[in-house]
Structure 1
Amino acid sequence: MKKLFSTITLVAAATATAPSSLQAAPLDADQQQQVRELIRSTLVENPDILVEAINELRNRELQAQEDARKASLEAKKDELFNTPGDPFIGNPKGKLAMVYFADYNCGFCKRQDPVLEQMVKQYPDLKVIYKELPVLGETSREAAELVLAAHANHPDIYQKLHQRLMSKPGGHDSASIAAALKAEGLDAEALKKKVDTNIRAKVDNNIRLASELGIRGTPAMVFADEVLGGFTNAEQLSEKIKSRLN
């Protein structure tokens, strides 16, 4: 390793002390071969150098990804937290807002939902904004559109309907979606006629927004400065919320 550093130092020194009007002569073929051999032997004798280099590259890539995500969060802040008509639970004027991307066919979302309901009870200054993200097939999209249509026309029913759809084990089909609607006094066929271009656009915008934030699945929870991908248990989520409220 010392040999490698010595060679690099000598080359750098020779370049630095050369007259500014002259260009440093390139290494000839023999010198290039000597440098290659020296680097090779150094890496063979000290393989940790390569491991350190790979780790450093990986760390830089992760940092670049994190920086890009934070910049994206800042740029999309209004879309995330101030989109008119988004369903929510908790305090409408809470000090802390969190966006929740979910799919009614997602098993982990079915586990995440009760945790979020627990959080809004535990933290009166928390607002949880729902963004339907149908990524698990046609019935995910069907459920998302019908739920949003129900919210637009019967906002008082939304939370009960959401909970009912999430409480069913496994995935949904059209019959189970219709049954959930019926249980809340709604007719699926009548509601389908109210799924207009605005509702379809809202779902499409949710999908686009999630993609732009690097979200590839559900559940996902988004604070103004962080994206939590996958299921997050009550203890972990509570710490995230508490640290931002304090």
Structure 2
Amino acid sequence: MKKLLAIAATALILPLSSQAKPLDQEQQQQVRELVRETLIENPEIFIEVVNELKKREEIARTQAQDSALSTSQAELFNNSNDPFAGSKTPKLSIVYFGDVNCGFCKKQDPVLESLVKAYPDLKIIYKDLPILGPSSREAAALSLAALSLTEGAKGNTTYLSLHKQFMSHPARHDSNSIASSVKTQGLNLDELKKAVDADINQQLDSNIMLAQRLGITGTPALVFPDEIIGGFTNESTLKEMIGQRLNQAK
């Protein structure tokens, strides 16, 4: 019956040729019946078609993501406005997209801290991706404000400390928990709010647009120079990935 399907498909295609005689209504009905009979007797054809479509969609998605990754290297890894942890002269950099209201990000953060300690040549670049509500945006903006108000290397330290404080909150944030986190870090909330300017908002908007171009739809997401990893990734997996790339960089 699969042969009948092929015959039927051919019959449908042939009229598209300028030299072929169009099918009349009776012939068209016969083709429909052949297709219907074939599909009823061979329902696995549907599964084959669906699987093939999924495979093609995945290939297209991967190709688009690889292309976006290739053209976004500078924005990902060479933006001097981004806070970071680890080496200033790294052999490997990883971009981390996270949200303070993301439960899996709260698990990912300690893993990244451990990796920075384990690999002196590693740099983790933090790109806040506030997609889980207004409090995500508020906390991300205040973290970047803390970075901007502190000069030099201390800026990264201040950002990372406040970021860690936000991540330590077990539930979703609200204005009260955000204010409490800022106070715990010994920072002035009013001063931070005043420092949230157009540049900081633009930086967060740029992070969101960059994530969209890369096909990142949730947090956490980790971006290597050659690969994008979505979702929480455990320490052993990341160590294997980092070790391979550092060995290649030797």
User: Aligning the two structures, in what range does the TM-score lie when normalised by the shorter sequence?
Assistant: 0.7 to 0.9
Given residue 208 of structure 1, which amino acid in structure 2 is its aligned partner?
M
- Looking at structure 2, the residues matched to 50 and 162 of structure 1 have their Cα atoms a distance apart, in angstroms, of 49
In structure 2, the gaps of 5 or more residues are: none
Match of 2:112 in 1: 116
Q: Work out which of the residue numbers 96, 103, 107 in structure 1 matches 2:103.
A: 107
RMSD over aligned CA atoms reads 2.5
Q: TM-score scaled to structure 1, two decimals?
A: 0.86
**Structure 1 consecutive aligned stretches of length 4 or more whose deviation exceeds 3 Å:** 5-12
Match of 2:178 in 1: 177
Q: Work out which of the residue numbers 136, 140, 151 in structure 2 matches 1:140.
A: 136
- Looking at structure 2, the residues matched to 173 and 232 of structure 1 have their Cα atoms a distance apart, in angstroms, of 27
Report if aligned partners of 1:178, 1:187 keep a CA contact under 8 Å in 2: no
SS at match of 1:185: coil
Given residue 128 of structure 1, which amino acid in structure 2 is its aligned partner?
I
Shift of 1:8: 6.3
CA change 1:71–1:9 in 2 (3 A) is closer
Report if aligned partners of 1:95, 1:125 keep a CA contact under 8 Å in 2: yes
- Looking at structure 1, the residues matched to 105 and 10 of structure 2 have their Cα atoms a distance apart, in angstroms, of 60
The worse-fitting range, judged by mean Cα deviation, of 66-75 and 24-33 is 24-33
- Looking at structure 2, the residues matched to 67 and 10 of structure 1 have their Cα atoms a distance apart, in angstroms, of 31
Q: Work out which of the residue numbers 56, 59, 71 in structure 1 matches 2:52.
A: 56
Q: TM-score scaled to structure 2, two decimals?
A: 0.85
SS at match of 1:136: coil
Report if aligned partners of 1:103, 1:135 keep a CA contact under 8 Å in 2: yes
Shift of 1:68: 1.0
Given residue 204 of structure 1, which amino acid in structure 2 is its aligned partner?
D
In structure 1, the gaps of 5 or more residues are: none
Superposed CA deviations along residues 97-153 of structure 1, whole A, max 9, x for unmatched, are 111111122221111100111122223322110011112222221211111111112
Shift of 1:43: 2.0
Match of 1:243 in 2: 244
**Percent identity over the alignment?**
54
SS at match of 1:130: strand
Superposed CA deviations along residues 50-102 of structure 1, whole A, max 9, x for unmatched, are 21111111110111111111111122221111112211112222222111111
Superposed CA deviations along residues 150-187 of structure 1, whole A, max 9, x for unmatched, are 11122032222222221121122333323333333321
Given residue 233 of structure 2, which amino acid in structure 1 is its aligned partner?
T
SS at match of 1:124: coil
SS at match of 2:229: strand
Match runs of 1:1-246 below 5 Å? 1=1, 3-4=3-4, 7=7, 23-154=19-150, 155=155, 156-246=157-247
CA change 1:179–1:6 in 2 (3 A) is closer
CA change 1:241–1:38 in 2 (3 A) is same
Report if aligned partners of 2:11, 2:31 keep a CA contact under 8 Å in 1: no
Superposed CA deviations along residues 201-243 of structure 1, whole A, max 9, x for unmatched, are 1111112212222222221111223322221221222233233
- Looking at structure 1, the residues matched to 10 and 67 of structure 2 have their Cα atoms a distance apart, in angstroms, of 42
